[in-house]
């Protein structure tokens, strides 16, 4: 039954996510095409800079919109009229919850991947644009342009292709556990907001529980990480990059605590779904 | 006319489909059902009646797993509410529950995916009889079409227990006849139907039992024949049990 639940969940959620992620990939492809070319004028330089800046913004927007989609889908499928369909299915509430969790998590992970991909493409486009601009300057051959060329070359070397790729990989591993936690926190917050007495004002309580759960999770990760030295010692991996050493530390202790919190929230939410649901 | 007392021993059955013991459900301080106990037999049609706000829909939601914050015991086919009871219970709520993007055919496939007792050829046949277009999306359907689709999805299941919440609400007389025929012609003979309605006059002929709830408890529950023997039709009984207070 879990397979059928997952299939139908992906069909339903895919209706929102496929256009979103597909659109983002398409836009980054178009911007890359526009950034290609052997020669570059002043207008193209500025346009290229702006378009790729928008691509970075798009990367951030994808993440926010994805979370909103996940939140709306879970709220609608569990606690709107559609909940009548969801809760009457001949499956356990744990299976139901698990399917929603896995589906949301996969989409958030894919969104993070696409967002990082879009930002990565943007960086590469910047590198290409700066290279072209520097080449053009060197062709001009005067002192002023030489100085500008030095500045542009400096910008080009802010991160190599390999650096960006490795940074993306480390970042992706790092956020894996945190996306688990974010996904589970979203489901928990929506569920508890629809339990009496909070269900009388679910919108308000959703907001209040989001702040409360967020604060508790952040502090739990910080405090427990510091209080348990053997876990802190798990901070093993450190990868050196050209300019981004600090950002590239994989904090295993935090990942472990985030995953543990996700499991705790899962069972708490499951308990609420089993004992406290009262659909309107 | 013989007096029918309230609080007599309600009928019990050797192998009931549904057993409810000491069920209490409240919304905050508002107690809707208080300590109610009764059983539903197999293979019968039970009319659930009561004034607005008497807890009919709450009782149905409890039986179908839409509400689980109650106290007491609710057993269907020997099991507490869960995957098994949901597999054998077909539920027709008074609201459209299908996602707006779904087409009629997608809804049928969805049901066929989850319910082993869903008869897909029967559903497709009913779709044609109901003159519903398979590819029409729920959002494009009129209210009447959506209600037909929900009825079709419910009655295409060979369920043991049908829970039908106001299937005749807001429907014209010919529509009521159509709905009743659909229900009666498509239920397996040994199935039990619990049907809530205010259209007592239309339904009296099909009910085997009448269950009246109000004032947080079961006020009357017996066979329609029992009430007729006492000189009441259900309409009269309803007015007697729930006198209108302007």
Report the pLDDT averaged over residues A152-157. 55
- Closest chain B residue to the Cα of A83, Cα to Cα: B97
| Contact flag A85-B98 (C-beta cutoff 8 Å) | yes
Written as one string, the DSSP assignment of A149-200 is HHHHHHHHTTS-HHHHHHHHHHHHHHHHHHHHHHHHHHHHHHHHHTSTTGGG
Query: Is 80 exceeded by the pLDDT of residue A134?
Result: no
Most confident range (mean pLDDT) of A31-35, A135-139, A251-255, B102-106 is: B102-106
8 A C-beta contact, residue B132 and residue B148: yes
CA–CA separation, A108 and A85 (whole Å): 25
Most confident range (mean pLDDT) of A38-52, A82-96, A239-253 is: A82-96
| Contact flag A89-B97 (C-beta cutoff 8 Å) | no
- Closest chain A residue to the Cα of B116, Cα to Cα: A90
Sorted by sequence, the CB contacts under 8 Å of residue B219 that are 6+ apart come out as: B6, B50, B212, B213, B241
Name the domain count of chain B: 1
Calculate what percentage of chain B has a pLDDT beyond 70: 96
CA–CA separation, B76 and B63 (whole Å): 8
Most confident range (mean pLDDT) of A120-129, B52-61, B201-210 is: B52-61
Rounded to a whole number, what is the distance in Å from the CA of A85 to chain B's nearest CA?
6
Q: Does A85 touch chain B (CB under 8 A)?
A: yes
Query: Is 90 exceeded by the pLDDT of residue B77?
Result: yes
Any domain includes B203? yes
Q: Which residues pair with B40 in a beta bridge?
A: B18
CA–CA separation, B49 and B55 (whole Å): 10
8 A C-beta contact, residue A123 and residue A32: no
Query: Is 70 exceeded by the pLDDT of residue A137?
Result: no
Query: Hey, CA dihedral for A240, A241, A242, A244, is it positive or negative?
Result: negative
Rounded to a whole number, what is the distance in Å from the CA of B57 to chain A's nearest CA?
10
8 A C-beta contact, residue A190 and residue A75: yes
- Average pLDDT for chain A: 81
Calculate what percentage of chain B has a pLDDT beyond 90: 69
Read off the pLDDT of residues A10-29 as tens digits, 9 standing for 90 and up. 999 999 999 999 999 998 88
- Higher-confidence position of B140 and A224: B140
Query: Is 90 exceeded by the pLDDT of residue B103?
Result: yes
- Contact residues, chain B, for A88 at CB < 8 Å: 64-66, 86, 89, 91
Confidence of residue A230 (pLDDT cuts 50, 70, 90): very low
Q: Range of B28's domain?
A: 18-49+60-218
- Contact residues, chain A, for B76 at CB < 8 Å: none
Any domain includes B144? yes
Any domain includes B10? no
Query: Is 70 exceeded by the pLDDT of residue B32?
Result: yes
Q: Does A83 touch chain B (CB under 8 A)?
A: yes
8 A C-beta contact, residue B69 and residue A277: yes
Calculate what percentage of chain A has a pLDDT beyond 90: 41
| B241 φ/ψ angles, rounded to the nearest 5 degrees | -75, -40
Smallest Cβ–Cβ distance between B69 and the set A1, A84, A196 belongs to A196
| Contact flag B27-A196 (C-beta cutoff 8 Å) | yes
- Contact residues, chain B, for A4 at CB < 8 Å: 113-114
The per-residue pLDDT for A150 is 64
Confidence of residue A52 (pLDDT cuts 50, 70, 90): confident
| Contact flag A277-B68 (C-beta cutoff 8 Å) | yes
The CATH number of the domain holding residue B202 is 3.40.50.300
Any domain includes B181? yes
Confidence of residue B232 (pLDDT cuts 50, 70, 90): confident
Read off the pLDDT of residues B160-193 as tens digits, 9 standing for 90 and up. 999 999 988 877 888 888 889 999 999 999 999 9
CA–CA separation, A31 and A29 (whole Å): 5
DSSP assignment letter at A234: T
Any domain includes B6? no
| Contact flag A89-B68 (C-beta cutoff 8 Å) | no
Query: Is 60 exceeded by the pLDDT of residue B1?
Result: no
- Average pLDDT for chain B: 91
The per-residue pLDDT for B170 is 73
Q: Does B158 touch chain A (CB under 8 A)?
A: no
The per-residue pLDDT for A37 is 65
Query: Is 90 exceeded by the pLDDT of residue B245?
Result: no
Q: Does B87 touch chain A (CB under 8 A)?
A: yes
- Contact residues, chain A, for B84 at CB < 8 Å: 90
Any domain includes B22? yes
The per-residue pLDDT for A141 is 61
Query: Is 50 exceeded by the pLDDT of residue B97?
Result: yes
The per-residue pLDDT for A243 is 44
Q: Does B238 touch chain A (CB under 8 A)?
A: no
Q: Crossing angle, helix A93-140 and helix A42-79, to 10 degrees?
A: 180
- Higher-confidence position of B202 and A232: B202
Any domain includes B152? yes
Confidence of residue B40 (pLDDT cuts 50, 70, 90): very high
| Contact flag B67-A91 (C-beta cutoff 8 Å) | no
Report the pLDDT averaged over residues B113-131. 94
- Burial class (CB within 10 angstroms; exposed 0-12, middle 13-18, buried 19+) of A143: exposed
- Contact residues, chain B, for A199 at CB < 8 Å: none
Q: Does A30 touch chain B (CB under 8 A)?
A: no
Q: State whether ipTM is beyond 0.95.
A: no
DSSP assignment letter at B187: S
CA–CA separation, A206 and A192 (whole Å): 8
Using CB atoms and an 8 Å cut-off, which of residues 178-197 of chain A contact chain B? 195-197
CA–CA separation, B226 and B11 (whole Å): 11
Any domain includes B242? no
Q: Does B143 touch chain A (CB under 8 A)?
A: no
């Amino acid at each position: 039954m879990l397979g059928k639940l997952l299939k139908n969940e992906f069909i339903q959620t895919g209706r929102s996510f496929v256009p979103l992620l597909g659109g983002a990939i398409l836009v980054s492809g178009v911007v890359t095409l526009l950034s290609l070319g052997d020669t570059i004028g002043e207008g193209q330089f500025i346009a290229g800079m702006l378009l790729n800046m928008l691509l970075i913004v798009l990367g951030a927007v994808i993440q926010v919109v994805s979370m909103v989609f996940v939140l709306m889908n879970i709220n609608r499928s569990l606690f709107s009229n559609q909940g009548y369909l969801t809760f009457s299915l001949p499956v356990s509430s744990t299976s139901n919850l698990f399917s929603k969790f896995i589906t949301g998590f996969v989409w958030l992970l894919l969104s993070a991947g696409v967002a990082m991909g879009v930002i990565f493409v943007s960086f590469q486009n910047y590198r290409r644009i700066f290279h072209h601009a520097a080449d053009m300057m060197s062709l001009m051959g005067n002192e002023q342009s030489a100085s500008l060329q030095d500045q542009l070359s400096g910008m080009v070397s802010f991160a190599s292709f390999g650096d960006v790729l490795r940074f993306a990989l480390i970042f992706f591993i790092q956020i894996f556990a945190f996306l688990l936690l974010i996904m589970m926190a979203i489901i928990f917050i929506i569920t508890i907001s629809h339990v009496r007495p909070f269900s009388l004002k679910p919108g308000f309580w959703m907001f209040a529980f989001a702040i409360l759960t967020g604060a508790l999770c952040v502090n739990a990760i910080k405090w427990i990480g510091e209080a348990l030295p053997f876990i802190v010692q798990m901070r093993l991996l450190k990868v050196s990059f050209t300019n981004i050493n600090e950002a590239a530390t994989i904090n295993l202790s935090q990942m472990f605590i985030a995953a543990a919190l996700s499991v705790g929230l899962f069972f708490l939410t499951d308990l609420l779904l089993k004992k406290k649901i009262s659909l309107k | 006319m013989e007096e029918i007392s309230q609080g007599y021993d309600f009928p019990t059955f050797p192998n009931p489909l549904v057993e409810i013991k000491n069920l209490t459900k409240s919304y905050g301080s508002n107690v809707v059902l208080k300590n109610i106990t009764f059983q539903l037999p197999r293979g019968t049609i039970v009319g659930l009646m009561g004034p607005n706000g008497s807890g009919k829909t709450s009782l149905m939601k409890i039986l179908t797993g839409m509400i689980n914050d109650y106290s007491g015991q609710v057993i269907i086919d020997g099991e507490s509410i869960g995957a098994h009871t949901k597999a054998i219970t077909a539920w027709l709520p008074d609201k459209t529950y299908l996602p707006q993007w779904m087409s009629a055919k997608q809804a049928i496939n969805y049901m066929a995916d989850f319910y082993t007792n869903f008869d897909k050829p029967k559903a497709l046949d009913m779709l044609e009889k109901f003159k519903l277009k398979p590819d029409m999306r729920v959002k494009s359907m009129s209210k009447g079409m959506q209600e037909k689709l929900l009825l079709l999805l419910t009655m295409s299941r060979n369920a043991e227990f049908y829970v039908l919440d106001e299937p005749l609400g807001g429907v014209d007389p010919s529509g009521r006849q159509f709905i009743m025929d659909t229900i009666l012609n498509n239920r397996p003979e040994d199935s039990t139907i619990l049907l809530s309605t205010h259209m007592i006059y239309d339904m009296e002929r099909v009910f085997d039992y009448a269950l009246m709830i109000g004032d947080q408890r079961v006020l009357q529950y017996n066979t329609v024949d029992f009430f007729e023997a006492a000189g009441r039709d259900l309409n009269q009984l309803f007015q007697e049990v729930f006198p209108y207070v302007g």
